[in-house]
Amino acid sequence: MAQAALTIDGLSVDFAGFKAVNGVTMTVDDGELRVLLGANGAGKTTLMDLISGKTKSTDGRVYLHDTDITNWEEHKIARAGIGRKFQIPSVFKELTVRRNLEVASCRKPGVFANLRFGFGAEAERNVDEVLELIGLTEEQDRIAAYLSHGQTQWLELGLLITQNPKIILLDEPTAGMTQAETHKTSEIVNNLKGRHTIIVVEHDMAFVREIAERITVLHLGQVLAEGNVEQIENNPKVREAYLGSKGIS
Amino acid sequence: MPMKRRIDWAIYAAFVVLVMFLPLVMDAFWLNRVAKYLVFGMLGTAVALSWGYAGILNLGQGLFFGAGAYMLAMSLKLASTTSLQQGSDKPVPDFMLWNAEPGAPTELCCINKASFLWLPFQSQWFGVAMGLILPVVLATILGTIVFRKRISGVFVSIITLALVLLVRLVVIDSQPVTNGFNGLTDLGWFNIAGLEFDPYIVPTYYLVAVSLSLVLVGARLLIDTRAGLILQAVRDDQNRARYLGFDVPAYQTFFFAVSAAIAGFAGMLYVIVSEFASPTFMDLTFSITMVVWAAVGGRSSILGACIGAILINTISATVSETEGFAEAWKAIIGLIFVLVVLYLPRGLAGLAHDFIDRLLARKPAASPQPLRVSDASSQLAE
């Protein structure tokens, strides 16, 4: 049996009486790709915020392997091994594509440890590989602000790949993408399967079908169902809550 | 782009050489003036480092400049001949005697309640050390509080602005120790191993010129380090940097403190070339003027901001002394600023960079780049 990479135990957050996430318990295995599904306001992004430390939980625990990381500071959680991609693509806009990845390749977090020049041959090779993987080799000397929306999304994925965390949280990685871009994104994500544990929040069912193994459905801050694509598509509770009577379109 | 980097360093070298050769063509009066402008250039660099690279618009840089200036001025005040002629065998600043209570002993330790603070400043090097330490400590405390609390953008500017005005008020109000709004005047000369730095001699100019060169190169090297790159990443997107595992406030605080140290250093040099320290260093207008220098020169260029400061000061000196412009020179400086902000948002340095880019782009254009076919989807994306 695979080991649990991330264990969430009764996690809740209370925003002045409104429980955006209410007693969520789930386990994600090492190397698994888990999709979080749910309508707007179901608590998907909030759950990611809680895992990555952006929002502090009011109840429950989060474990990364055996380490209790509940309510740590964001950069400490990141260093412990959780990387995150935001819904709105965020990259370092005034740096070149290559520079962006170099920043992410930096293994030492402190200021004084980084008072030195260059990143080392190994880091540069790694950056080259990631550039290849996200298809931005040709654009490596462009300033990130001039990239297209899709390219910016891939660059942010590249930052995560370079950072090389154990767990990758992806918040709507295909938002605003064309079909061709979505397809390429699923290729990149599929490429990461096995090497990283991945949790994806996504609405786009075509994309979900391309990548998903297991799906957890959230509804009003609670876990509604869990299973593979087929089970979820045929689950009457899920159909009722989200998909309408016609099923997944 | 190693070629571009080489050009960059060549421009730095050219600037340093130019500054070093100025004494050959200038008289003592102008040399002293230029030395002051070089000090302002150093301030421009300090602003560029915090504003352009760290994204922290400090509207109170004068606080650090003033702190550096006062620390050295206290030492130089005690080294002046008047301080030695107040009837004690140890130096006592003249202004302390003017306001001393009847019967107070003419001793630095106890002529008034706070005069003992001056005691260690009898050593000039204590003043020099404090001129760096005080700005760094102030900046570290301020930075730690502000950046840990994730205060950013205009709120940092407002806090720094309020702080410089507060300190200015305290300095003016503490007449017995600071001589209030008169500031510290009638100073002795800075002295290294017997060489006295009269502001109107060539060695004093070189003290400033060499200091500026070292600061320029040091700051440039600093932003070329990994930490400098990460700092720029923090400037562009704090959150992204945080979720990559970087301790964002530590980076901001560190570079804020470096910028403060440079400003403090500039303050000390200014005291050496101008022979006074005054609360006007902490006027709001002065701090804002520094920001204007950096904006005109180019806030994301260490050298650009420095040249901006020197250029504006030279122009304002020349214009203000030209008959007919004597009244209008401030309007002319203002006009230059407005034009730069409107048409050169990256300042003169941005203009220079575009020019270099165009020159470099012309050369490889001879061999056309192979058509990209490998990556259809990235073209779709465009």
pLDDT in tens, B85-143: 887 788 999 999 888 888 888 888 888 888 999 999 999 999 999 999 999 999 999 99
Pairing of strands A197-201, A167-171: parallel
pLDDT (average), residues A155-173: 93
Answer yes or no: are the C-beta atoms of B188 and B77 closer than 8 Å. Answer: yes
Contacts of A207 (CB under 8 A, 6+ apart): A174, A182, A185, A186
Assigned CATH topology for domain A4-243: Rossmann fold (3.40.50)
> Could A159 and B247 be called an inter-chain contact, meaning their C-beta atoms sit closer than 8 Å?
no
Residue A8 has a pLDDT of: 94
Check pLDDT > 90 for residue B323. Answer: no
CA separation for the pair B243, A171 (Å, rounded): 13
Q: Residue B19: its pLDDT value, please?
A: 96
Q: What does DSSP assign to residue A193? A: B
Segment of A92-101, A239-248, B98-107, B336-345 carrying the highest mean pLDDT: A92-101
Residue, of A144 and B376, whose pLDDT is higher? A144
Separate counts of helices (H) and strands (E) for chain B: 17, 2
pLDDT value at A10 more than 80: yes
**Would you state the pLDDT for residue A249?**
45
Structural contact between residues A4 and A31, judged by C-beta atoms closer than 8 angstroms: no
For residue A72, pLDDT over 90 is answered with yes
HSE of A73 in the Cβ direction (CA atoms, 13 Å)? 14
User: A159 and B230 in contact by Cβ < 8 A?
Assistant: no
- Contact across the interface for B245 and A115, Cβ inside 8 Å: no
Partners of A36 in the β-ladder:
A201, A216
The residue-averaged pLDDT of B313-326 equals 84
Query: What per-residue confidence (pLDDT) applies to A244?
Result: 56
Mean pLDDT (whole number) for A78-98: 93
Query: Please, which pLDDT band fits residue B369 given cuts at 50, 70 and 90?
Result: very low
pLDDT above 90 coverage of chain B, percent = 72
Confidence of residue B363 (pLDDT cuts 50, 70, 90): low
Q: Please check whether residue B240 touches A, CB under 8 A.
A: yes
A102–B225 CB contact, under 8 Å: no
| Cβ atoms < 10 Å from Cβ of B129 | 15
Beta carbon pairs, A and B, within 8 Å: 115
> Is residue B364 very low, low, confident or very high in pLDDT (cuts 50, 70, 90)?
low
DSSP for A81-137 reads TEEEE-SS----TTSBHHHHHHHHH----SSGGG-SS---HHHHHHHHHHHHHTT-G
Mutate to test the interface with B, among A75, A184, A188 (most CBs of B within 10 A): A75
Q: Which two tokens stand for residue A103?
A: 């920043």
| Rounded Cα–Cα distance for residues B372 and A138 (Å) | 8
Top-confidence residue, A213 or B207? B207
Spatial CA neighbour of A109 closest among A78, A140, A130, A155: A78
Closest-CA residue of A relative to B148 is A73
> Is residue B232 classed as helix, strand or coil in its secondary structure?
helix
pLDDT 10s digits, B8-60: 899 999 999 999 999 999 999 999 999 999 999 999 999 999 999 999 999 99
A103 → closest Cβ in B1, B233, B382: B233
Q: Quick check: A29 and A197 in contact, CB under 8 A?
A: yes
Please determine, for residue A107, whether its predicted confidence score (pLDDT) is greater than 90: no
A103 contacts on B by Cβ (under 8 Å): 229-230, 233, 241, 244
User: A1 pLDDT exceeds 90?
Assistant: no
pLDDT score recorded for residue A243: 57
In chain B, what is the greatest distance between 2 CA atoms, to the nearest angstrom? Answer: 92
Question: B313-322: long-range contacts (C-beta < 8 A, 24 or more apart)?
Answer: B313/B36, B313/B37, B313/B40, B314/B37, B317/B33
Q: Which residues of B touch A156 (CB under 8 A)?
A: 240
DSSP string, B174-214: -HHHH-GGG-B-S---EEETTEEE-TTSHHHHHHHHHHHHH
- Contacts (Cβ under 8 Å, ≥6 apart) of B363: none
Contact B346, B296 (CB under 8 A): no
Q: Are residues A75 and B247, on separate chains, in Cβ contact within 8 Å?
A: yes
- A2 band by pLDDT with thresholds 50, 70 and 90: low
Between A40 and A163, the higher pLDDT residue: A163
Beta pairing, strands A167-171 & A82-85: parallel
How many beta carbons lie within 10 A of that of residue A247, not counting itself? 10
B169, pLDDT greater than 80: yes
A8-17, B163-172, B217-226, B358-367: the lowest-pLDDT one: B358-367
For residue B326, the Cα-to-chain-centroid distance in whole angstroms is 27
**B79 min Cα distance to partner chain A (Å):** 38
Sheet (strand A4-15) strand order: A18-29, A4-15, A59-64, A67-68
Q: Which residue has the tokens 């004093």?
A: B204
B372 touches chain A (CB under 8 A): yes
CA distance B50 to B260: 9
B247 and chain A: CB distance < 8 Å anywhere? Answer: yes
Q: Which amino acid is at B166?
A: L
Q: Is B227 on the interface with A (CB under 8 A)?
A: yes
In sequence order, what are the residues at sequence separation of 6 or more whose Cβ sits closer than 8 angstroms to the Cβ of residue A184? Answer: A135, A150, A154, B377
How high is the pLDDT of residue B77?
Answer: 95
Asked whether residue A185 carries a pLDDT value surpassing 50, the answer given is yes
